[in-house]
Chain A
Amino acid sequence: MRWGARIVMVVACLAVLFPLLWVLRTALKSDAEFISQPAAIGGTFTLDNFAAAWNAVDLGGAIRDSLVITIPGAMLATFLGVLAGYALAKLPVPAKRLLLVLAVGGLTIPIAALVIPEFDQALWLRDTIGVSYVDSTWGLSLVYGAFFASWSTLFFLSWFRDLPADLLEAAWLDGASAAQTFLRVALPLAVPAIAVGLVLNVFLQWSEVLLGLIMLPSGDATTAMTAIASFSTQFRVGGPLTAAATIIVALPIFLLFLLAQRWLRTEIFGGSIKG
């Protein structure tokens, strides 16, 4: 068993690392070499592709736009999720089942089907009340906040359910209101989970493709995923340039997780989900 386990661990790690390293290797290849020997490990190593990708499409601008959109969007989704998740887990909310179905139900409709109805509604609001969430970064943040609040709610519902009841009951007995109990006891305890929820939200919203394209119709702001998609035009697909561009766009998320890894490790993944 001992050696068997070691072999499994080594194989699993290699299987995970290899494709990542391969993308990096491809990004460092010259185009000509990629065409003639796509599977070669040796050969030239060049950083030119990164510079070319950066210059070809405004990746810097797209990354900035994506951050401007997803950070408020993640904050909103987390805010909604913490409140609703806490209430559904710990408070006597009427029609709990119905609320849960409402929270989960939206997840069964693919975003691809909802982008145009969402866009139509935004235009209709613009034309009837003169205020709209179309074509602005804050508008897209709102949409992302709502779309990703569903799973956020389930995430925090699951977290708060595992919070020992006696902690909260003590506060109740002291005569604190529901709001006071939440703010003074539950919320401080949940801070690490909130950090994790925020990070995962940024990641999920960062990865979204279609809403980012359709809900920003002037093209003044472009999300990182749209920029990557624009990168492969009708007549250009794959290759070292695309590999370099994807690495550039993936970097901010890597950095984010690095910053948040303390909470990721010790809290959510370190024992807060209990049997």
Chain B
Amino acid sequence: MFHRTPSGVSAARRARTLTALSLSALLAGTVGMSTVSAQDAPSGDISFFGWDVADLTSGLGLGFQTAAMSFTAQNPGVNVTFDAVPFADFVSAATSRARAGTLGDVVEMLPGLNHAPVFAALEATTPADWGDLATELSGWGGGVIDPADPNTVAGVPIGGQGVIWYYNKALFEQAGLDPEAAPGTWAEFTAAADALKAAGITPVAASGVDSFLAWWAWSSFSPQYFTADEVLQVRSGEIPLDDPRVLASLQPVADMFAAGYWNSDYADKSFTDMESAFINGQVAMIPGVITSIVNWKAWDGSALGPEGYGVFGAPKRDDATSDGQFFNPTLIYGVNAASENPETAKAFIRFLAGVEGQSILLAQSGQFPNRADVDLATYASPGAQAIQGVIDSRGASDVIQNQFSAAAQGEAFQKLTQAIVSGDLATFLGDLQAQQGS
């Protein structure tokens, strides 16, 4: 089905593949070859479909490009091409490709319900189908197709994602706080924020243009109120979005605004603006997904430097019922049900999910691994290791971030910041429930 002519986009990409081959050889040498027995050596052409691969020169695109080169170097009969679409239009582009028979063999998706409309086009699978990966990888829950059958998933989880709170040590010191003592409880958090505010420092970053920071902050508190099982119940509708626990997890974010901790120009800021502001010492604390490009890896090379910031898990609320830290896959990778080369597609996913693949993604793109045996010391900075410390101490549960349908999530991103500012969280959650149910 994928008769790619040697002209057009793929040709341009192929040319780029050749120029970068030397890099792959270098990496293969440092990371070590994975062993592939001769009898099931994958072969043929596969296409990788997603949004991260629009730009193969930076971000996750660079990691995937490098991983693909290592994989093809080890499997000379294989050729990997990339097919990228705009992130915002991913669902419609994926479904139309599936119906036209042109969907890539390997399909990238966000975990949870975000890309649920695409699941029907993929080969349903179970963790057991993937051998050792079933136990080596965490975050399989992110690919569950139907909450009634948590064992059947749309794809393999690759990369670790959680919300970590970052703080600027110098600004803490400037406000008379101990730069090595990150807040652990809500009381400690508000004490620190108040001290920062008193010193004329903006305590918490918020971004009204995209609502991402408020969303991440919200996600960071959710595990204090929901177990992994309950998260699936939110998704199946057993727990509606107007459940008091949903409100309880959102309340701390609203409290931060009410206490005046947000940057005053939040309404005009995107999250990338605020990450820049954090690097430049204009704001003391920021919630962040550890795979965002301006994350610990990028920050290490910035004005901030690897020693300039610390991390902490969402401060514990008084009414919290658990101590979990949300930690789920960054992305899940499914195999197109109509793939003409499913075995090679699976082999590539295995490669990406393995130690070698995840090491490449960590080194090239700063993507945090979701397996314990990736050598953080070699490939990651002190910042990444501090993150691992938080995960170890708080418990890296497989709790997924808030489980909304794509419609409800779109609604949330559109209105979250406004809802917090207006203070009418109940109406907001009611609107979300209407979207989730529709």
Instruction: Give the CA-CA distance A56 to B16 in the complex, in Å.
Output: 10
B8 pairs with A220, CB closer than 8 A = yes
Instruction: Give the shortest distance, in Å, between B13 (CB) and chain A (any CB).
Output: 7
Instruction: Give the CA-CA distance A115 to B95 in the complex, in Å.
Output: 13
Please, could you name 7 A-B residue pairs with CB atoms under 8 Å apart, sorted by A? Answer: A58-B12, A60-B12, A220-B4, A220-B9, A230-B84, A235-B272, A237-B270
Which chain B residue shows the least CB distance to A229?
B86
Contacts of B4 in A (CB 8 A): 218, 220
A214 pairs with B58, CB closer than 8 A = no
Of the candidates A61, A210, A217, the one whose C-beta lies within 8 Å of that of B9 is: A61
Q: Check A123 for interface membership: any CB of B closer than 8 A.
A: yes
A135 pairs with B58, CB closer than 8 A = no
A221 pairs with B86, CB closer than 8 A = no
Contacts of B272 in A (CB 8 A): 235-238
A58 pairs with B9, CB closer than 8 A = yes
Q: Check A116 for interface membership: any CB of B closer than 8 A.
A: yes
Instruction: Give the shortest distance, in Å, between B159 (CB) and chain A (any CB).
Output: 13
Q: Check B102 for interface membership: any CB of A closer than 8 A.
A: yes
Contacts of B54 in A (CB 8 A): 56-57, 230-231, 233
Give the size range of B's interface with the partner.
Answer: 35 or more
Instruction: Give the shortest distance, in Å, between A65 (CB) and chain B (any CB).
Output: 7
Of the candidates A35, A119, A134, A233, the one whose C-beta lies within 8 Å of that of B87 is: A233
B102 pairs with A217, CB closer than 8 A = yes
Q: Check A207 for interface membership: any CB of B closer than 8 A.
A: no
Contacts of A226 in B (CB 8 A): 85-86
Contacts of A235 in B (CB 8 A): 59, 272, 292-294
Q: Check B40 for interface membership: any CB of A closer than 8 A.
A: no
Instruction: Give the shortest distance, in Å, between A47 (CB) and chain B (any CB).
Output: 17
Which residue, A35, A213, A218, has most C-beta atoms of chain B within 10 A?
Answer: A218
Which chain B residue shows the least CB distance to A227?
B54
Instruction: Give the shortest distance, in Å, between B59 (CB) and chain A (any CB).
Output: 7
The 5 lowest CB-CB distance pairs between A and B, nearest first, are: A229-B86, A230-B54, A218-B102, A219-B83, A217-B100
Q: Check A55 for interface membership: any CB of B closer than 8 A.
A: yes
B87 pairs with A218, CB closer than 8 A = no
B interface residues, Cβ below 8 angstroms from A: 2, 4-5, 8-10, 12-13, 49, 51-52, 54-59, 83-89, 92-93, 96-97, 99-100, 102-103, 210, 270, 272, 276, 279-280, 292-294
B9 pairs with A214, CB closer than 8 A = no
Which A15-71 residues have a C-beta within 8 angstroms of B? 35-36, 52, 55-58, 60-61, 65
Instruction: Give the CA-CA distance A232 to B88 in the complex, in Å.
Output: 9
Instruction: Give the CA-CA distance A226 to B85 in the complex, in Å.
Output: 8
Contacts of A234 in B (CB 8 A): 51-52, 87
> A230-B86, A236-B59, A236-B272 given as contacts; is B97 within 8 A of A61 (CB)?
no
Instruction: Give the CA-CA distance A134 to B97 in the complex, in Å.
Output: 11
A219 pairs with B85, CB closer than 8 A = yes
Q: Check A201 for interface membership: any CB of B closer than 8 A.
A: no
Q: How many residues of A contact B (CB 8 A)?
A: 36
Which residue, B2, B55, B56, has most C-beta atoms of chain A within 10 A?
Answer: B55
Instruction: Give the shortest distance, in Å, between A136 (CB) and chain B (any CB).
Output: 11
B86 pairs with A135, CB closer than 8 A = no
Contacts of A52 in B (CB 8 A): 57
Q: Check A150 for interface membership: any CB of B closer than 8 A.
A: no
Of the candidates A116, A217, A233, the one whose C-beta lies within 8 Å of that of B97 is: A217
B59 pairs with A135, CB closer than 8 A = no
> A57-B54, A219-B83, A233-B87 given as contacts; is B59 within 8 A of A213 (CB)?
no
Which chain A residue shows the least CB distance to B83?
A219
Besides A218-B102, A230-B84, 17 other A-B contacts (C-beta < 8 A): A57-B54, A58-B12, A61-B8, A116-B92, A119-B96, A213-B86, A214-B92, A217-B102, A218-B4, A226-B85, A229-B89, A230-B51, A231-B54, A233-B86, A235-B294, A237-B210, A237-B270
Instruction: Give the CA-CA distance A126 to B12 in the complex, in Å.
Output: 29
Instruction: Give the CA-CA distance A123 to B96 in the complex, in Å.
Output: 10
A214 pairs with B55, CB closer than 8 A = no
Which chain A residue shows the least CB distance to B95?
A116
Which chain B residue shows the least CB distance to A226?
B86
Q: Check A78 for interface membership: any CB of B closer than 8 A.
A: no
Contacts of A219 in B (CB 8 A): 9, 49, 83-85, 97, 102
A221 pairs with B100, CB closer than 8 A = no
Instruction: Give the CA-CA distance A219 to B4 in the complex, in Å.
Output: 10
A214 pairs with B52, CB closer than 8 A = no
Q: Check A205 for interface membership: any CB of B closer than 8 A.
A: no
Q: Check A153 for interface membership: any CB of B closer than 8 A.
A: no
B293 pairs with A236, CB closer than 8 A = yes
Which residue, A134, A226, A236, has most C-beta atoms of chain B within 10 A?
Answer: A236
A218 pairs with B97, CB closer than 8 A = yes
A230 pairs with B292, CB closer than 8 A = no
Which chain A residue shows the least CB distance to B4?
A220
B99 pairs with A123, CB closer than 8 A = yes
B83 pairs with A36, CB closer than 8 A = no
Contacts of B83 in A (CB 8 A): 218-219
Which chain B residue shows the least CB distance to A119?
B96
Contacts of B51 in A (CB 8 A): 230, 233-234
Q: Check A152 for interface membership: any CB of B closer than 8 A.
A: no
> A56-B58, A220-B10, A229-B88 given as contacts; is B93 within 8 A of A35 (CB)?
no
Instruction: Give the shortest distance, in Å, between A120 (CB) and chain B (any CB).
Output: 8
Instruction: Give the CA-CA distance A110 to B128 in the complex, in Å.
Output: 46
A217 pairs with B270, CB closer than 8 A = no
Of the candidates A36, A115, A220, the one whose C-beta lies within 8 Å of that of B5 is: A220
B12 pairs with A61, CB closer than 8 A = yes
Instruction: Give the CA-CA distance A60 to B16 in the complex, in Å.
Output: 14
Instruction: Give the CA-CA distance A226 to B276 in the complex, in Å.
Output: 27
